[in-house]
Structure 1
Amino acid sequence: MDHCYRHPGRETGIRCTRCERPICPECMISASVGFQCPDCVREGSGTGRSPAPNQPRTLAGGTIAADPRLVTKILLAINVALFIAVQARAGLVDDLALVGAWPPSPHVPVEGVTTGEYYRLFTSMFLHEAPWHIVFNMLGLWWLGGPLEAALGRARFLALYLISGLAGSALTYLLAAPSQGSLGASGAVFGLLGATAVLMRRMNYDLKPVLMLLAVNLIITIAFSDFIAWQAHVGGLVAGTVVAAAMVHAPREHRTLVQYGTCGLVLLVTAVLVVARTAMLT
């Protein structure tokens, strides 16, 4: 397989339609037919520069960014900041972690998603208690997030991350015991893992490495299901795969409709799961 002319360490099966040099997802820019490299776009590809509405786009139609890892860095920083806050303030985890309902107590009122604290579905995605927990999740976010953000664009990547995390929280809320607490970015990271498989398939890359990584993680999830919220992993993986498929396979003429329509549909299913579980518990 060829290597990107700007990033020699990256294999690729895609070539610039103008100069035919091999380009990786970070370098490919959507053109009227196929993809072009940054140099050809900069030179106007012999037809002059494109007008503002037709500015160069990423594989998924996002805007080309100077820093293709900016959103990944921000998400990582938020996770680390909250981890530090959790260590510094006792009780913060109890306030923000995902839980359906704490058991009734004569002295403590019932708290949880069931009682209207729906923000827990979101805040739990950024919480970690153990150092090993946040290290593994942040390594996954860094390794998977950068290439995905470069290929999808900032807005689409952020949508993928958040929707995957929320779907993981919703499935955990639906299937886990109401008093079982859950926290961590694992659901969102599994969504990125599923999206990576979709992107690699789209780019005709060898899927064996990512499928092996996915298989190992699923085996670990099942083997340690007593200590891991497997529901979050499965929910995030399914949502991330579906959203990513819409992102990279949407037809150019209906790209926005298909991409954001799919995001809206996944969010709707997520909301239905949450409403259904709340009705079961009240």
Structure 2
Amino acid sequence: MNAQTPGAPTEAPTCYRHPGRETYVRCTRCDRYICPECMRDAAVGHQCVECVREGNRSVRQARTVFGGQVAATPVVTYTLITLNVLAYVAEVLSERVVDRFAMLGVWVDQFGMVRPGGVADGEFHRLITAAFLHSPPGSSFSITHILFNMWALWVLGSQLEQVLGRWRFTALYLLSALGGSVLLYLVNPTGAAVGASGAIFGLFGAFFVVAKRMNAPTGGIVTLLVLNLVITFTVSGISWEGHIGGLIVGGLLTAAFAFAPRANRTALHVAAVAGVFLLLMVLVVVQTVRLSDVTML
């Protein structure tokens, strides 16, 4: 056993994560030595990275007024815009994209004969894929169609996503888009349509409901909605069924989000989403059966 020489220098403490770095600062939570790179400001002193991470796990996540997790970045809105833009690029590269994925209930040729194709023929994907397509270049609306819808999605979506939370906003957008396609399928199954307008009108309705629930001014959204409704019913080539279907679904679903009691709120929101989806699917099945009977005559 070697005795230490009195007065000999002691070994300097080092960071527990970086043994080669000398430090005399300790984590106020675990008392381990930490270097400047590993320091995190705390209410008193500094904490190490691991203690901060562990503390965050035990802190209850902040919630929005409607029960969603607070998210500063509208990731879902960014993603939806990206998907729409990518779909538009695909349309530019191939004309077959619109033919294969546009909303179409039944296909009727120029002689009035029903041909295989459309939702009634089992192509149910058209009910949602049409919402990510827009008027191709050279059409009557051209690029203005996607530009307006993406502008509206950015303005309304980024705000609604922060208020509702990500999964509620995702459900709102997709079910509004689906609602527009379903109403078109019910009212005008031979009509074809593309566009995110059904989902956008759902956001119009959602924004109005949220503003009413939070006692915020509604004049701006009402003006925008009325203007778009006037355009919907006065300009030819616009599917009013898609717009109205999205508006109804978006407004009703958001009302369920906004006015559900706090007790078991998340479960009620999930039930509302599932209920709206099942109702739309029942309507699709009923219409498909009816169209099958008609086309077999």
TM-score range (shorter-chain normalised) is 0.7 to 0.9
Deviations 1:162-200 (A, max 9, x none): 011001110011101x33211100000000010000111
What 5-or-longer segments of structure 2 have no aligned partner? 1-41, 44-54, 137-141, 293-297
Aligned to 1:60: 66
Q: Could you say what secondary structure the match of 1:252 adopts?
A: coil
Cα distance change of structure 1 residues 220 and 105 upon mapping to structure 2, 3 Å threshold: closer
Q: Quick one: distance in 1 between partners of 2:175 and 2:106? A: 23
Picking from 235, 240, 256, the partner of 2:250 is 240
Q: Which portions of structure 1, spanning 4 or more consecutive aligned residues, are displaced by more than 4 angstroms?
A: 49-53
Q: Which residue of 2 aligns with 1:217?
A: 228
Contact 2:130/2:195, CA 8 A, preserved across alignment: yes
Cα distance, 1:220 vs structure 2: 1.0
1:1-282 to 2 correspondences below 5 Å = 52=58, 54-67=60-73, 69-103=74-108, 110-128=116-134, 129=136, 130-176=142-188, 178-224=189-235, 226-282=236-292
Deviation at 1:52, TM superposition (A): 4.3
> Is 112-121 or 261-270 further displaced after alignment?
261-270
1:16 corresponding residue in structure 2: none
Task: Flag the structure with more relative contact order, 1 or 2, with Cα contacts below 8 A and sequence separation at least 6.
Answer: 1
SS of the aligned residue for 2:199 comes to: helix
Q: TM-score scaled by structure 1?
A: 0.77
Larger Rg computed on CA atoms = 2
The match for 2:23 is none
Indicate conservation of the 8 Å contact 1:243/1:262, yes or no: yes
Q: Give the count of matched residue pairs.
A: 232
Residues 181, 50 of structure 1: alpha-carbon distance in 2 compared, 3 angstrom cutoff: same
Structure 1 residue 51 displacement after superposition: 7.3
**If the length of structure 2 is used for normalisation, what is the TM-score?**
0.74
How far did 1:63 drift?
Answer: 1.4
Identity in percent: 43
What is the RMSD computed on CA atoms of the aligned residues? 2.1
Structure 1 residue ranges without an equivalent (≥5): 1-41, 44-48
Could you give the per-residue CA deviations for residues 1-21 of structure 1, whole angstroms, max 9, x where no partner exists? xxxxxxxxxxxxxxxxxxxxx
In structure 2, C-alpha distance between the alignment counterparts of 1:203 and 1:51, rounded to whole Å: 30
Q: Give the equivalent residue in structure 2 for 1:30.
A: none
- Shift of the alpha carbon at 1:78? 0.3
